[in-house]
Amino acid sequence: MRRITVLFASMVVLVMCGAVFAQAGDYVGSERCADCHMDKFNDWKTSGHPYKLRPVEVAKLDALPVPDGYTWDDISYVIGGYRWKARFIDKQGYIITAGKKGEPLATQWNIKSDTWVNYHPGEKKPYKCGPCHMTAYSPEGNQDGLEGLIGTWQAPGIHCEECHGPGDKHVKSEDASDIKIDKTAAGCGKCHIRGVKEKIPAKKGFIRHHEQYNEYLASPHAGKLQCTDCHDPHKPARSGVKVACVSCHKDQGEAYGGSLMARSGVTCVDCHMPRASKSAEKLSPREGDVRTHNWRISTDPKASMFTEDGKYATGILTLDVVCLNCHGGRDIEWAASKVGMVHKTK
């Protein structure tokens, strides 16, 4: 039911965005692409990318609550609300961080636990989150003339033309050479990054979120695979992974297959991509809510996933994070003593 409302809602916003695009020359808007690429359009609509920033007219049709004391009439845009959390923007373009009279209030909505948590309580927070949440972002000016919205953009959220470039020429020529395709990890890494790409920022025992590119660069897949070798970028993470690990790692697949854990439904991803990163909330003391892209596991019980000051991840996964979220009653020495049996050819 919720999905149907959301699909309908995104049709409405696309029509609205069309009006913005029409004035912008080279950009034609995602609904124009749908005329000839309906399959891609339908996939994309169910993914997180278009959700990233939604006008209130669309977001209010979703099942989201609003911060205490506010109504939808006080809100101009919603940030996220697809997978992990939502934040709200007021009519002046500022991210809401307090109650209507300025009193302390938790204003970030966490989806998994259905709770409100603090987000920079009481601070004046302009929305300067470009270029990662919008299409064709320019740092100049203020979108919609609202002083809190820093920069301007062709459309809220990540539309077709953010990745494929302006489509005007292509829709007229229908020629493949008039539209861009960027399959490199660096293309995705423009947004799936935090800080400098050589480091993996961490905080309070978790890798921080939106840094899949940083993690990937420190991983054994760097340079060997691109993000799009595994992901269909038009689909949600869960349904859009298009290759199985075993298609490249046959030996490990064969060694693991048939074991009690495999038969119990424990997958490659459960161990090699645990939720070591945190966006909104932790599910347990060592389990966050975003899967890591580091992949390599150290079997040394003394190894550390973080630098001594805790500010960065080292790029390896340790057995506490890998095994003990499921084997809660055990400790890391137990895991180290058992680990040899996982891929038993070794």
Residues 190-219 that bind ligand HEC (CB under 6 A): 190-193, 209-210, 212-213, 216
**Contact yes or no for 144/112 (Cβ under 8 A):** no
Pick from 11, 16, 37, 106: which binds ligand HEC (CB under 6 A)? 37
User: Residue 257 CB, nearest distance to ligand HEC (Å)?
Assistant: 7
Rounded to whole angstroms, the Cα distance separating 202 from 137 reads 28
Burial bucket for residue 54 (CB in 10 Å: 0-12, 13-18, 19+):
buried
Rounded to whole angstroms, the Cα distance separating 274 from 322 reads 6
User: Residue 311 CB, nearest distance to ligand HEC (Å)?
Assistant: 18
Total of chain residues touching ligand HEC, rule CB under 6 A:
111
Rounded to whole angstroms, the Cα distance separating 330 from 323 reads 9
The contact mask relative to ligand HEC for 87-126 (x = CB under 6 A, - = no) is x-------x-------------------------------
Site of tokens 């075993």: 246
Q: Within 284-303, which residues bind ligand HEC (CB under 6 A)?
A: 290-291, 293, 295-297, 299
268 sits near ligand HEC (criterion: CB under 6 A): yes
Rounded to whole angstroms, the Cα distance separating 320 from 342 reads 15
Calculate Rg over the CA atoms of the chain.
Answer: 22
Q: Within 239-258, which residues bind ligand HEC (CB under 6 A)?
A: 241, 243, 245-249, 252-253, 256
* Nearest residue (CB) to ligand HEC, 63 versus 308: 63
* Nearest residue (CB) to ligand HEC, 30 versus 308: 30
* Nearest residue (CB) to ligand HEC, 203 versus 308: 203
Task: Determine the interface stretch with ligand HEC among 2-10, 15-23, 33-41, 61-69 (rule: CB under 6 A).
Answer: 33-41
Q: Within 46-65, which residues bind ligand HEC (CB under 6 A)?
A: 47-49, 51-52
Rounded to whole angstroms, the Cα distance separating 152 from 53 reads 13
Q: Within 301-340, which residues bind ligand HEC (CB under 6 A)?
A: 319, 322-323, 326-327, 335, 338-339
Q: Within 159-188, which residues bind ligand HEC (CB under 6 A)?
A: 160-164, 167, 170-171, 174-176, 179, 181-183, 185, 187-188
- Tokens coding 248: 């490249």
- Tokens coding 283: 């599910």
Neighbours of 204 (CB within 10 A): 10
Among candidate residues 313, 107, 292, 333, the one with its CA nearest the CA of residue 204 = 313
* Nearest residue (CB) to ligand HEC, 183 versus 311: 183
Q: Within 219-238, which residues bind ligand HEC (CB under 6 A)?
A: 220-221, 224-225, 227-231, 233-234, 236-238
Site of tokens 């057995």: 319
Among candidate residues 277, 311, 279, 307, the one with its CA nearest the CA of residue 294 = 277
* Nearest residue (CB) to ligand HEC, 71 versus 177: 177
**Contact yes or no for 193/211 (Cβ under 8 A):** yes
Site of tokens 């993000």: 227
User: Residue 73 CB, nearest distance to ligand HEC (Å)?
Assistant: 21
User: Residue 328 CB, nearest distance to ligand HEC (Å)?
Assistant: 10
